[in-house]
Amino acid sequence: MDKKQTKTPRRVPEKQSTPYNKLAPKKNDTLVYALGGLGEVGKNMYCIEHEDDIVIIDAGVRFPEENLLGVDYVIPDYNYLVRNKQKKKTLIITHGHEDHIGGIPFLLKSVDIDCIYASRFAVSLINRKLEERKMLKQVKIREINEDSSVVTKHFRCGFFNTTHSIPDSLGVVINTPNGRIVTTGDFKFDLTPVGTNADYQKMAYLGASNVTLLMSDSTNSGVEDFSISEKVVSKAILEITRKTQGRLIVATFASNVHRVQQILESAVACGRKVCIFGRSMENIVTIGRKLGTINISESSFLNPEQLNRMPADKVCIVCTGSQGEPLAALSRIAQGTHRYIKLIPGDTVVFSSSPIPGNGASVNQVVNKLFRAGANVLTNSILNNLHTTGHASQEEQKLMLQLIKPKFFMPVHGEYKMLKQHMDTAIETGIPKENIFTCANGDVLLLRNEQVYQSSIRIQADDIYVDGNDISGVSTAVLKDRKILADNGLVSVIVCIDSRVNKIMCRPVIVSRGFVFIKDSQTLLKEAENVVYTALRERMATKTTFGEIKNTIRSSLEPFLYNKTHRNPIVIPVILNSKEAMAQMAQMRTAKAQHQPIKKVKHTESQPQK
């Protein structure tokens, strides 16, 4: 026999899992998964779990797209955390933007959080948010900085400064029983930042001390080179402020605190008084001044009533609406419906922002209205450096990867295209492709003995649509009905019965709205009435209930309409019971309660069944 055939097979070590070789979790594994933030921009929520201990990184919302009519917020599905209520949960916030803190009130309604840890600026924003909802006493909030340490049963967490468009943004280091995880939060590298510099030394130290898994911001994965510095934008704004002769109106993101700070400082430096419009902008300026991030004296601000009494060249208006939001201050100014501001020829409007993908049409509409009113409009371009991003572009992502030197990598915070581009960037820096995990919300990674594997389990991580403050999921069902109504319309079936003798009194009447053009569809509706009538006669040949009658109407009509039109309208049965039957039913209830004999009641009219 050949020697090779008798050789004992060599034991193959446990390898990186593949889609066809996913591992089942063991008791001592550390689990990493996202309930939001993967395959989307917003709704960030990342969880690290070991036995009965869960550390949650951020709890954000996503703002709805145009097709989500009537929805205020999109939040993660918290059901997994609710089901594991016996496990201790700690929430750590990387910074104070809405896509990282906006979901906290909704999370606290469903899940018991042991404590929230956040940086100084984020704590102020969270306090205001919870105070508005009367939830401030519901959870402990602790302020942290780059020198803080958070210790739970199984985790030890540290922090490092990053540069972003809001003060006090932090990266997080989580030491677990199975290895070290680093999550960057939102970041960029700016060599001349406004505010705190990034902690390059601590990042490099982490890179030299064996990081198992890096989770890093992917938002600008498709942007090449380095992003421009905030100081460059600051100089451009100062130059425009100095040259502008009339009123200056500047629109930007309220959440971009450093930009708001630069706009206000430029206005004061050029001898202009500042007036703030937009609730979110007012909140940010109030908190920024309270914390010393925005150093502008009270005498430099104007009340709205004082605007018309000031010379045009001594006024700077800072407002929301840079994304063309219909109800924002700038949109109302452009439409001429703002209470205090009417555009006059010679006004200069500056967009210190770039349109978010999908908002381009809305922004263009506002720009056209501003031009029509005689304003001079300046937007971000290669000629005007009026905006820079707060997220790392490709070269900055490479720098983060080189500083941290992770063994395994998981791109986060981005649409799938962004995650894939970040994966390609990581491969360029030398991370093996098999050590990179491009996951979706609900996918689970296992840390086991400083190795990372794809798990065979998956966690429910659907979108929950919030209408007002409801997070029960009712809004999700309502939205589905709205979509069906928008796409297929409504059909109402009105049926008159006599429940005493279990008899249908006349043929059903079908009323349609938004389903078919009634004048051209009389034949279809008559056929539909016959289908329902036949089905009801068969059902009511024996004793039945109102619920069974409604189900019979739906089960007979819906397939018929789909076969004829290939559309599924909402079918609403309306049952009218004869007045004699209604009166006798009421009398039976009264007699039963009072133990009296039942009298016959005679009526001929009909009324709706209650």
- Is residue 334 scored above 80 in pLDDT? yes
| Helices within 381-473 (DSSP H only) | 394-404, 416-428
161 DSSP β-pair partners: 170
How high is the pLDDT of residue 1?
38
- Helix (H, G, I), strand (E, B), or coil: what is residue 301? strand
Pick from 77-86, 112-121, 135-144, 597-606: least confident: 597-606
What is the separation of C-alpha 535 from the centre of its chain, rounded to a whole number of angstroms?
A: 46
Question: Could you give the residue range(s) of every CATH 3.10.20.580 domain in the chain?
Answer: 489-608
Average pLDDT over residues 297-321: 90
- Is residue 299 scored above 80 in pLDDT? yes
Give the separation between CA 483 and CA 569, rounded to whole angstroms. 10
How high is the pLDDT of residue 69?
66
Average pLDDT over residues 172-176: 97
Q: What pLDDT, in 10s, does the model give residues 367-378? A: 999 999 889 999
Give the separation between CA 33 and CA 41, rounded to whole angstroms. 16
Q: Which residue has the tokens 């939060």?
A: 185
How high is the pLDDT of residue 6?
42
| Helices within 244-393 (DSSP H only) | 257-269, 279-291, 329-335, 360-372
Q: Which residue has the tokens 């490479």?
A: 398
How high is the pLDDT of residue 135?
92
Q: Quickly state the pLDDT bin for 17 (edges 50, 70, 90).
A: very low
How high is the pLDDT of residue 488?
86
* Backbone angle region of 154, left / alpha / beta, with phi > 0 → left and psi within -120 to 50 → alpha: alpha
If we measure between CA atoms, which residue out of 93, 91, 106 comes closest to residue 61? Answer: 106
- Annotated ligand binding at 50? The verdict is no
Q: Which residue has the tokens 């079908």?
A: 510
- Helix (H, G, I), strand (E, B), or coil: what is residue 181? strand
- Annotated ligand binding at 283? The verdict is no
Pick from 12-16, 159-163, 236-240, 580-584: least confident: 12-16
How high is the pLDDT of residue 11?
41
- Helix (H, G, I), strand (E, B), or coil: what is residue 322? coil
Catalytic residue among 58, 217, 347, 443: 217
408 DSSP β-pair partners: 213
Average pLDDT over residues 203-212: 95
Q: What is the mean pLDDT of the chain?
A: 87
Task: Let me know if domain 30-225+390-466 sits in CATH 1.10.150.120.
Answer: no
Give the separation between CA 529 and CA 533, rounded to whole angstroms. 6
Q: What pLDDT, in 10s, does the model give residues 188-197? A: 999 999 888 9
- Annotated ligand binding at 100? The verdict is yes
Of the chain, the end-to-end C-alpha distance in Å amounts to 88
Task: Let me know if domain 489-608 sits in CATH 3.40.50.2300.
Answer: no
How high is the pLDDT of residue 586?
66
- Taken in order 441, 44, 169, 48, the sign of the CA dihedral is negative
If we measure between CA atoms, which residue out of 348, 336, 340 comes closest to residue 306? Answer: 340
The strand order across the sheet containing 248-251 reads 273-277, 315-319, 248-251, 348-351, 376-378
- Is residue 505 scored above 70 in pLDDT? yes
Question: Could you give the residue range(s) of every CATH 3.60.15.10 domain in the chain?
Answer: 30-225+390-466
- Annotated ligand binding at 255? The verdict is yes
- Annotated ligand binding at 388? The verdict is yes
- Annotated ligand binding at 603? The verdict is no
- Whole-model pTM? 0.78
DSSP 8-state assignment for residue 46 = E
**CB 48, CB 31: distance < 8 Å:** yes
Pick from 63-67, 142-146, 475-479: least confident: 475-479
Q: Quickly state the pLDDT bin for 383 (edges 50, 70, 90).
A: confident
Geometric angle at alpha carbon 473, from 471 and 474, rounded to 5°: 105
Catalytic residue among 154, 391, 422, 443: 391
If we measure between CA atoms, which residue out of 372, 323, 317 comes closest to residue 340? Answer: 317
Phi and psi angles of residue 302, each rounded to the nearest 5 degrees, phi first:
-110, 145
If we measure between CA atoms, which residue out of 491, 493, 511, 509 comes closest to residue 565? Answer: 491
Q: 394-404 vs 200-207: helix axis angle to the nearest 10?
A: 50
- Is residue 386 scored above 70 in pLDDT? yes
HSE-up of residue 118 (Cα within 13 Å, Cβ side):
24
- Annotated ligand binding at 498? The verdict is no
Query: Quick one: tokens of 267?
Result: 């206005």
Pick from 1-15, 65-79, 484-498, 556-570: least confident: 1-15
349 DSSP β-pair partners: 249, 377
How high is the pLDDT of residue 480?
73
Query: Quick one: tokens of 62?
Result: 């996503």
Task: Let me know if domain 230-378 sits in CATH 3.50.50.60.
Answer: no
Q: Quickly state the pLDDT bin for 585 (edges 50, 70, 90).
A: low
- Annotated ligand binding at 380? The verdict is no
How are beta strands 45-50 and 463-466 bridged, if at all? unpaired
Q: Quickly state the pLDDT bin for 591 (edges 50, 70, 90).
A: low
How high is the pLDDT of residue 314?
92
Give the separation between CA 360 and CA 353, rounded to whole angstroms. 12
The fraction of the chain above a pLDDT of 70, given in percent, is 89
Amino acid present at 3: K
The fraction of the chain above a pLDDT of 90, given in percent, is 56
- Annotated ligand binding at 154? The verdict is no
- Annotated ligand binding at 190? The verdict is no
Asked about 217 being catalytic, the answer comes back as yes
DSSP 8-state assignment for residue 474 = H
Average pLDDT over residues 422-438: 96
- Helix (H, G, I), strand (E, B), or coil: what is residue 174? strand
Q: Quickly state the pLDDT bin for 597 (edges 50, 70, 90).
A: low
How high is the pLDDT of residue 608?
44
- Annotated ligand binding at 467? The verdict is yes
How high is the pLDDT of residue 466?
83
Asked about 391 being catalytic, the answer comes back as yes
Give the separation between CA 377 and CA 324, rounded to whole angstroms. 14
- Annotated ligand binding at 185? The verdict is no
- Annotated ligand binding at 338? The verdict is no
How high is the pLDDT of residue 12?
41
Q: Quickly state the pLDDT bin for 580 (edges 50, 70, 90).
A: confident
Average pLDDT over residues 321-333: 86
How high is the pLDDT of residue 418?
95
Pick from 139-143, 169-173, 472-476, 522-526: least confident: 472-476
Phi and psi angles of residue 608, each rounded to the nearest 5 degrees, phi first:
-65, 145
- Is residue 474 scored above 60 in pLDDT? no
Average pLDDT over residues 291-310: 89
Give the separation between CA 474 and CA 480, rounded to whole angstroms. 10
More reliable by pLDDT, 470 or 328: 328
- Annotated ligand binding at 438? The verdict is no
How high is the pLDDT of residue 566?
86
Q: What pLDDT, in 10s, does the model give residues 33-53? A: 999 999 998 899 999 999 999
| Helices within 65-119 (DSSP H only) | 79-83, 98-101, 104-110
Average pLDDT over residues 217-244: 91
- Is residue 288 scored above 50 in pLDDT? yes
Question: Could you give the residue range(s) of every CATH 3.40.50.10710 domain in the chain?
Answer: 230-378
266 DSSP β-pair partners: none
- Is residue 569 scored above 50 in pLDDT? yes
- Annotated ligand binding at 512? The verdict is no
How high is the pLDDT of residue 9?
42
Q: Quickly state the pLDDT bin for 475 (edges 50, 70, 90).
A: low
Query: Quick one: tokens of 30?
Result: 């550390």
Full DSSP string of 116-148: EEE-HHHHHHHHHHHHHTT-GGGS-EEE--TT-
How high is the pLDDT of residue 470?
64
Which distant-in-sequence residues (6+ apart) come within 8 Å of 400 by Cβ?
Answer: 184, 187, 189, 203, 214, 216, 392
Following CA atoms 340, 346, 333, 73 in sequence, which dihedral angle do they give, to the nearest 10 degrees? -120
- Annotated ligand binding at 523? The verdict is no
Q: Quickly state the pLDDT bin for 573 (edges 50, 70, 90).
A: very high
